[in-house]
A and B are shown apart, each in its own frame.
Chain A
Amino acid sequence: DSGVTQTPKHLITATGQRVTLRCSPRSGDLSVYWYQQSLDQGLQFLIHYYNGEERAKGNILERFSAQQFPDLHSELNLSSLELGDSALYFCASSVNPGTGDSPLHFGNGTRLTVT
């Protein structure tokens, strides 16, 4: 158990809809990262938050947004969903970015299916 909790585990929704994925980092971790895993794109970095502030953006679509709350949990919002958004979305956390001894710990992911 990595200590990172993601809910829900599975999500099935229709095209055009909006969903919210939730992540609770490990106790004490200030950084939260979101990754998307799909068959065609592999594992792609989406966005990184540190202590409530956005630190880095990757290949995140404009239809997607995220935030990290004062209690350090994070939410990834996906809107105007398309079939191609179907993927496994991972959250990871670490104590502090930029330190070598602070590896990422991944949750078990949320599997999103858009029909």
Chain B
Amino acid sequence: AQSVTQLDSQVPVFEEAPVELRCNYSSSVSVYLFWYVQYPNQGLQLLLKYLSGSTLVKGINGFEAEFNKSQTSFHLRKPSVHISDTAEYFCAVSGPAGGTSYGKLTFGQGTILTVHP
């Protein structure tokens, strides 16, 4: 079984400051890792994904995340946030390619990022 823990339910930050949203996962098999963003009254949009290879993954809107296998973490970072980054962010895991669990995403509880002017 897989599980995801997002360590912060809310993260307030000032505009142009750096931010890190923390995510830890638990799985007995290798996993794919994802970060999704949900703006108010919208669906989830994929920010970035880790499948294999380089542990530093770059996504859209200037976000990046680092996969740390030893710490089972996949923290999301942005060096300078904008007001428009205010949204809820979800970390998710799924099983490896070829398995029936791929796409069966297990989500964390979400982190609400609020960017203040």
Residues A31 and B107 in contact, CB atoms below 8 Å apart = no
CB distance from A2 to the nearest CB of B (A): 6
Residues B45 and A2 in contact, CB atoms below 8 Å apart = yes
Tell me which of A65-73, A79-87, A96-104 binds B.
A96-104
Residues of B within 8 Å of A109, CB to CB, are 43
Whole-angstrom CA separation of A94 from B105 in the bound complex? 12
With both beta carbons as reference points, the residue of chain B lying nearest to A100 in the complex is identified as B51
Residues B97 and A45 in contact, CB atoms below 8 Å apart = no
Residues A104 and B103 in contact, CB atoms below 8 Å apart = yes
Residues A108 and B49 in contact, CB atoms below 8 Å apart = no
Residues B34 and A103 in contact, CB atoms below 8 Å apart = yes
Residues B106 and A45 in contact, CB atoms below 8 Å apart = yes
Residues A100 and B52 in contact, CB atoms below 8 Å apart = yes
- From residue 29 to 60 of chain A, which have CB atoms closer than 8 A to chain B? 31, 33, 35, 42-43, 45, 48, 55-56, 58
Whole-angstrom CA separation of A35 from B92 in the bound complex? 13
Give the residue of A56, A100, A105 whose beta carbon is less than 8 angstroms from that of B101.
Answer: A56
A106-B44, A109-B43 known; A100 and B104 CB under 8 Å? no
Residues A108 and B104 in contact, CB atoms below 8 Å apart = no
Residues B103 and A106 in contact, CB atoms below 8 Å apart = no
Residues A106 and B43 in contact, CB atoms below 8 Å apart = yes
CB distance from B96 to the nearest CB of A (A): 8
Residues B32 and A98 in contact, CB atoms below 8 Å apart = no
Residues A107 and B43 in contact, CB atoms below 8 Å apart = yes
**B42: Cβ under 8 A from any A Cβ:** yes
Whole-angstrom CA separation of A102 from B52 in the bound complex? 14
Whole-angstrom CA separation of A55 from B94 in the bound complex? 14
Residues A56 and B51 in contact, CB atoms below 8 Å apart = no
Whole-angstrom CA separation of A102 from B105 in the bound complex? 13
Give the residue of A2, A98, A99, A104 whose beta carbon is less than 8 angstroms from that of B105.
Answer: A104
Measuring CB to CB, which residues of chain A are less than 8 angstroms from any residue of chain B? 2, 4, 31, 33, 35, 42-43, 45, 48, 55-56, 58, 90, 92, 94, 97-109
8 pairs of A and B residues whose beta carbons are closest in the complex: A106-B43, A43-B107, A100-B51, A106-B44, A108-B43, A97-B103, A98-B98, A100-B97
